[in-house]
Structure 1
Amino acid sequence: MTVTASARAASPLLDLVRPARPTHVVDVGANPIDGDPPYRGMLAAGLCRVTGFEPQPDALDELKRRKGPHETYLPDALGDGGTHTLHVAATSGMTSLFRPDTNRLGLFNGFSEWGRVREEVQISTRRLDDVEEVDAFDLLKIDIQGAELMVFEGGRRKLAEAVAVHTEVSFVPLYENQPVFGDVDQELRGQGFIPHAFAAVKRWPIAPVVFGGDFRQARHQLLEADVVYVRDFGHPESMTDEQLKQLALVAHHVYDSTDLAYHCLSQLSLRGLAVPDAPNRFLAVLGSANRT
């Protein structure tokens, strides 16, 4: 995949950072049940390529039917490399390697039905580090209903090259023995990432209370969130040139994090890899675009 002229026109950063390759996104649990993925704009502009994993056959078929030229989808279930029982739920978004906790599900409106197991299937999982089809990547987006920690632990070698992880975390476990936010946070911090943003926060009403006639409308109870972790930019000396370049691109194009992209440009300028005024050129282009 080469970066086209139209892709360069869509990015105020490409000519400033000059990455060695297009951004590579790995999407684990690629079934888009919650709408377009966060990198959709970057993909549409031709700025990245995607390698996705989706073990549910119907969802995989739909992804392959709709995919563009820079997307590849594989049927593998990622995990710890062992054989597990896949608990296929009434709602596909609740399907998990972990058994739904019926007591927990009953605490929240709707979840007892959505998480009802309709089939159990034995599947083999692959460690991310063992997947030869995945070369160096920059952003890992993952949502696999509790098994995220397995993937992080089984992908430490390849994650060492990545600059961002967009993961679902749970504050209240809906599955038996499910790792929660603290477990995930400890692992990712240990791999050199720090929290950057809450991309989404899901609150849910505690059953049987219904607010305003909508059983989904919540007040305060946290359930889950999508958290974005980034490579710890407080230690730029531990980041390669390419990591700084890719983090700038992901920060701007996926998360609209102008300040983080500016910081990466500043570090590249200090290394002589970007012109001295690259950060201010970047801001100037953004300002001009906002005035049109």
Structure 2
Amino acid sequence: MAHLAAKLLTYLAEGLAPVRPVRIADVGANPIEAPPYGALAAAGLAEVWGFEPNDAARAKLEASKPDWLHVLGQAVGRPGRAVFNAYPASEMSSIFKLSRQSIGYLGHFRRHLGTETEVPVDLVGLDQLDDMPPLDLLKVDAQGAEVQVLQSGRGKLSKAVAVIAEMRFYRLYDGEPDLHELDAELRQQGFVLHKFIHQKSRMLHNSQSERLNRRAIGSQLIDGDAVYIRSLEDRMQWSDEQIAHLAFLAAGVFESHDLALLCLDELSDRNAVAPLAAGYVNHLPKELRA
């Protein structure tokens, strides 16, 4: 994926000649996994504002910070006072507490129960951050606070073309919004579900657990990342820059080559750029071509 993305992004950069980088905010930028926008940023085509209120995770981000990343320590959400539950496993930290009832059913994550340190915080909304410009992409993994983050940034997201959000399929935290509430907020802001990047599932504990391949037999969906894009049904309202940024994101972040080609067709139809779609397909591997 990384090699293919690099080739496609080089091709698109030459043909689209972007005026500015794609602007990305990553709320919950815990460095336990490589970010999906890494290839785009490494190619000099993205600028990223990464939010991580957990001190240990933020220190790791700072220690290996590339030039394109601005690391911020604010906890993003509905503006006001809150309690941040910092778990030793930093990826579990949240303004919500892990649910004993849910974990009792799942049989997973028990080791985290009761290990949190309560830290009073002042939550800030994305729209309150004057130093961060309007966004093209929001990636949010806030352990249950995704709806709050989205609601806090309706201004910053008013021209955004995509959101990558962690979707909770089975509740892990007491009080976290349900899946339909997150979907409803995204749709109210003009986004529609485009694809799932991955889903995480777990095997439910049972009397035969030790005899089973947990990875192969796990059936209970927990969560996963979903890509929402601003509805293209009314793309005549989009600027050329928005269409070009979505092409970059489709090619280099969420591997939606048909979407990238649709964007290139739109730009060509507008006479905004020379035709690029055929050359794009030429850069795809053989297994993706007829």
Partner of 1:89: 87
Number of aligned residues: 283
1:121 CA displacement: 1.2
Which one of the candidate residues 40, 48, 51 is aligned to 2:49?
A: 51
Cα distance in structure 1, aligned partners of 2:210 and 2:232: 42
Cα distance in structure 2, aligned partners of 1:287 and 1:101: 45
Q: Is the 8 A contact 2:27 2:141 kept in 1?
A: yes
Is 1:242 equivalent to 2:279 in the alignment?
A: no
Q: Is the 8 A contact 1:109 1:216 kept in 2?
A: no
Partner of 1:271: 270
* Per-residue CA distance 1:52-103 (angstroms, 9 max, x = gap): 0011111111101101111110110000111111112242211110122111
Cα distance in structure 1, aligned partners of 2:255 and 2:108: 34
1:220 CA displacement: 2.0
* Per-residue CA distance 1:146-178 (angstroms, 9 max, x = gap): 001001011011111211111101111111121
Q: Is the 8 A contact 1:211 1:217 kept in 2?
A: no
Cα distance in structure 1, aligned partners of 2:109 and 2:213: 14
Cα distance in structure 1, aligned partners of 2:210 and 2:257: 37
Point out 4+ residue stretches in structure 1 off by more than 6 angstroms. Answer: none
Paired residue secondary structure (1:200): strand
Q: Is the 8 A contact 1:90 1:113 kept in 2?
A: no
Partner of 1:220: 219
The one-letter code of the counterpart of 2:189 is Q
Which one of the candidate residues 38, 41, 45 is aligned to 1:40?
A: 38
Larger mean CA deviation between 121-130 and 277-286 belongs to 277-286
Partner of 1:4: none
Partner of 2:232: 233
Q: Is the 8 A contact 1:128 1:155 kept in 2?
A: yes
Cα distance in structure 1, aligned partners of 2:83 and 2:60: 24
Cα distance in structure 1, aligned partners of 2:225 and 2:133: 25
Partner of 1:12: 11
**TM-score of the superposed pair, with normalisation by structure 2:** 0.90
Change (3 A) 1:120 1:238: same
Query: CA RMSD of the aligned region, Å?
Result: 2.2
List alignment gaps of at least 5 residues for structure 1.
1-6
Cα distance in structure 2, aligned partners of 1:184 and 1:152: 9
How high is the sequence identity, in percent, across the aligned residues?
35
Change (3 A) 1:211 1:223: farther
List alignment gaps of at least 5 residues for structure 2.
1-5
Q: Is the 8 A contact 2:8 2:283 kept in 1?
A: no
**TM-score of the superposed pair, with normalisation by structure 1:** 0.90
Cα distance in structure 2, aligned partners of 1:165 and 1:10: 20
Partner of 2:3: none
